[in-house]
């Protein structure tokens, strides 16, 4: 199978490069919810209390604990209950 190099260079290569750059960027940055845990301590709350007042699942709490992806809906519910902003509960960390 012969690949048309003009087509490859104008259409396929830039897309492949963008995916590679995006993957590399994801490896360099991660989300940390350490600010959330510190805020809970300041408010004399624990993870179970947070789960109960926000109505989020224990699976979502576990994801937050691992620094996994979480929906913005969950993050906004936390912010509403704790009367804070997203910047108060999360931050990006360079790795």
pLDDT tens, residue by residue, 17-52: 433 444 555 567 888 999 999 999 999 999 999 999
35: in domain: yes
Does residue 1 register a pLDDT over 80? no
Q: What is the pTM of this model?
A: 0.68
58: in domain: yes
- φ, ψ for residue 39, nearest 5 deg: -65, -40
Please tell me the total count of domains within the chain. Answer: 1
Q: What is the pLDDT of residue 6?
A: 52
64: in domain: yes
2: in domain: no
Instruction: Look at residues 77, 75, 83 and name the one whose alpha carbon lies nearest to residue 42.
Output: 83
5: in domain: no
Q: For residue 56, what is the domain's CATH number?
A: 1.10.260.40
Query: In this structure, are residues 51 and 61 in contact, taking their beta carbons and an 8 Å threshold?
Result: yes
Does residue 10 register a pLDDT over 80? no
Distance CA 72, CA 44 (A): 24
| Residue 79 structural domain | 30-94
Q: What mean pLDDT, rounded, does the chain reach?
A: 80
22: in domain: no
More confident residue, 76 or 10: 76
47: in domain: yes
76: in domain: yes
């Amino acid at each position: 199978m012969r690949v048309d190099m003009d087509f490859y260079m104008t259409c396929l290569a830039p897309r492949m490069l963008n995916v590679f750059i995006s993957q590399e960027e994801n490896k360099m940055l991660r989300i940390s919810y350490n600010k959330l845990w510190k805020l809970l301590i300041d408010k004399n709350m624990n993870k179970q209390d947070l789960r109960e007042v926000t109505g989020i699942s224990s699976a979502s709490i576990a994801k937050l604990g691992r620094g996994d992806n979480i929906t913005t809906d969950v993050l906004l519910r936390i912010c509403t209950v704790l009367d804070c902003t997203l910047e108060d509960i999360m931050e990006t960390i360079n790795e």
